[in-house]
Amino acid sequence: MDLASGLEHFVRSEEPLSRHTWLRLGGTASYFAEPTTPEELSTLVRRCREQDMPVRLLGHGSNVLVRDEGFQGAVVHLGAPAFCEIRVEKNILFTGGGTSLTHAISSAVREGLAGLETLVGIPGSVGAALHGNSGRQHADIGQYAHAAVTMTRTGEIIRRQREDLQFAYRQSSLNELVILGAEFQLEPEDPAALTKRMQELWIVAKSKQPTGDQVAGRIFRNPHGILAADLIDQAGLKGTSVGGAQVSERNANYIVAHPGATVDDVLTLMEQMRTKVVSELEIELETDIEVW
């Protein structure tokens, strides 16, 4: 039986993943699913398991670089309203796994709940942010997580409480297939003061990223608290190009994909950055962006 058989209302085949990733490059996914309910998601997940079909989650595609070969399996995107709700009860913010992190932060701030605003400017979905414990030098999303609801590879839904959750630098113990939703425990604060702080943090964050009109991806993790951007800059790589891919002039930890850039251009430039930082500074950079 074809994986999509009877599920055509939310599963399509040979979907170009360039449409769904920030770098806008790469090949197709054999199947691309946008379930509208957890039940549809569970049906798909169980069917993938029966058919031995690999499954991957794709949030907003800001941390994924897809190779030209694409992905031979099913890619699931939680864009439907059922996965993107936001609710506040007292000092707890409930969000779906597909919710945009920016939206979650601004909702918390509007309700006078502090904590998540430290992450403003990080693109992507709440599910992916928890999966990789997204954050900045002095804050990460995991420190606010109170509980998470996940779906296993057998389609079972489980709830994990704070004491079951572990977070480290760009890592979490949330290793089930899907993060369906999460609860964040936040601190009450005056909404006006909080809004002002969020706006200031937003301006700082945006000034350190490529400009909004550029197609770009953030490439390496920060080794032991040192900014990867500073190391790449010290190695003299700012502005270096391979084909249409260029190390950002604004922040050397980003690669900008100019029109005509290929996946190979990006991968070759990444390798040059890694090699030059090792040879000049004897520090090994670890890739943060996932290459599919």
Ligand X SMILES: Cc1cc2nc3c(=O)[nH]c(=O)nc-3n(C[C@H](O)[C@H](O)[C@H](O)COP(=O)(O)OP(=O)(O)OC[C@H]3O[C@@H](n4cnc5c(N)ncnc54)[C@H](O)[C@@H]3O)c2cc1C
Give min distance, CB of 61 to ligand X, in A: 5
Let me know if 117 is exposed, middle or buried by CB neighbors in 10 A (0-12, 13-18, 19+): buried
Piece of the chain touching ligand X by CB under 6 A; list 37-45, 131-139, 234-242, 259-267: 131-139
Is 136 catalytic? The answer is no
Return the exposure string of 120-159: e unless at least 16 CB atoms fall within 10 Å of the residue's CB, then b: bbbbbbbbbbbbbbbbeeeebbbebbbbbbbbeeebeeee
Binding mask 229-268 for ligand X (x = CB under 6 A): ----------------------------------------
- Nearer to ligand X by Cβ, of 112 and 251: the residue is 251
Q: In what order do the strands lie in the sheet with 55-57?
A: 11-16, 28-33, 71-76, 55-57
Binding mask 165-184 for ligand X (x = CB under 6 A): -------------xx-----
Q: Left if phi > 0, otherwise alpha if psi is -120 to 50, otherwise beta: which for 133? A: left
Piece of the chain touching ligand X by CB under 6 A; list 10-18, 108-116, 130-138, 259-267: 130-138
Interface residue with ligand X, options 41, 55, 78, 269 (CB under 6 A): 78
Residue 178 β-bridge partners: 151
Nearest-angstrom CA–CA distance, 287 and 219: 6
Piece of the chain touching ligand X by CB under 6 A; list 7-15, 33-41, 122-130, 275-283: 122-130
- What letter represents residue 140's amino acid? D
Active site residues: 170
Residues at the interface with ligand X (CB under 6 A) = 22, 56-64, 78, 97, 122-125, 127-129, 131-132, 134-136, 178-179, 209, 217-218, 290
